[in-house]
Amino acid sequence: MAETESRYREAIARFQSVLDEARAVSNGFMGNDPAMTLATTDAQGRPSLRTVLLKGVDERGFVFYTNLNSRKGRALAARPHAALLFFWPELKRQVNVEGGTEAVSDEESNAYWSSRPRESQLGAWASDQSAPLANREEYEQRLAAVRQRYRDCAVPRPPYWAGFRVVPDRIEFWHEREFRQHERECFWREGEDWRWTLLNP
């Protein structure tokens, strides 16, 4: 195995190890889908943040799902780059991920869609995510109409609902120490190679 490939695999394995540790100390509260802060920029370069759920991670990258017409969906269509922040205060650890984004395959999106609770599927059809809403009743009426439409059948995946994969080109691990003397390690892509270094606190 090339050293550069080994470096990247080490970073992904390190993340999965920290994630397993976070799950262990959460006593089941975190569940299988950890929260992460997702940063995007729109076509004018203005940043925005929101919390989403990590739905998969492997050497291909970090996956989440969304309405493609949402604010984040439109931002990623305009600028296919994102940053992720995982913060586990109980572990005194953070992991920062930066990279380009790509669409996951239809097969992956369909598989995850099928695993979602039916009410979540119906909500995806009823919600014009991120668009202005006159009142809650408007949404509830759309939801009732969707329930009626699919009352006797499976709920299909909307054409505007899919997954994104953040393909890392930088992964930083941060471990809190007393007096702000934190430990920081950075793995990053340089051309076709992956490199590693410690960072100053």
Task: In whole angstroms, give the CA distance from residue 23 to residue 43.
Answer: 36
Residue type, 62: F
Q: How far is CA 84 from CA 37, 45, 50, 101, in A?
A: 5, 17, 10, 11
* DSSP code for 63: E
Catalytic: 147? no
- 3-class secondary-structure state, position 93: strand
- If DSSP codes are grouped into helix, strand and coil, which group holds residue 7? helix
Three-state secondary structure call for residue 168: strand
Catalytic member of 180, 184, 189, 195: 180
CA angle 108, 110, 112 (to 5 degrees): 70
Active site residues: 180
